[in-house]
Amino acid sequence: MKALFLAGALALASSSAWAAISISVSVDGGAATSCVITSTGNTAADCGTFTNGAFTVSSLGATSNSPGTANLSDLFGATTQLTNNTGATHTIEFFIFADGFTIPVAGNFISSIGGTVVTGSAADALQYKSCISVTSGTCAGAAIQSATITPAIINPGSYSASTTSVVGALGSPYTMSEDLKITLGGNTNMNFSTSTFVSAVPEPMTFSLMGAGLLGLGLLRKRISRS
């Protein structure tokens, strides 16, 4: 079933029907099922609240700014509540995908996750990464992948982690995807939100203009102080 989801995402990414977003979920390594796949032109997906195996998932959703702006392309996962309703340890994996990005085609590639652990256990673990591709709808086979983030989630309280790298010469259009795998011990509860974006690096001329502006401001202040 994971292969079917990947094939569907590939078909979506390779077709002319760009600017869509989808979310799929797998529990304990089982079949990955789509809770939502939006139609062309939609940049928000909402799975709402549902139960899948041992887990209750509340307010699962995502948004993107596809096709992006000159300065930023982004994919955001909504703040989602996750509860393991059983007394045993279970694992759930989320696949979030958005396509249709055309700009920017280079910049800082930033992947972040944060949230709060309400009830933790020693069995709790989290793995998260973001990916960019011109051919793949998931991180599987994606040419550009962030480092895997593994913040500790065993104790109650807030957590956050991020990683940044520089990317260039991105193909267009391209996809952005997130792969989030969470293991929770019995009767535990937490929430999370995710973000993936490419932020364009200002051109050298932009820095020069900023420097000139700051220099002019400094000279003006000196003249005012003297007068």
> Per-residue pLDDT tens for 75-132?
999 999 999 999 999 999 999 999 999 999 999 999 999 999 999 999 999 999 999 9
Q: How far apart are CA 22 and CA 157, in angstroms?
A: 30
Domain count for the chain, please give it: 1
Domain that holds residue 68: 2-226
| pLDDT band (50, 70, 90) for residue 138 | confident
pLDDT digits (tens, 9 = 90+) for 64-79: 999 999 999 999 999 9
pLDDT at residue 10 is higher than 80: no
**Encoded tokens for 186:** 């019995």
Mean pLDDT of all residues in 13-37: 77
**Above pLDDT 90, what percent of the chain?**
67
Cβ contact 101:176 at 8 Å: yes
Both ends of the chain: CA-CA distance in Å? 76
Strand order in the sheet with 189-199: 44-52, 55-64, 72-84, 189-199, 107-119, 157-167
Which pLDDT score is estimated for 203?
56
pTM score, whole prediction: 0.82
Contact 23, 34 (CB under 8 A): yes
CATH of the domain at 7: 2.60.120
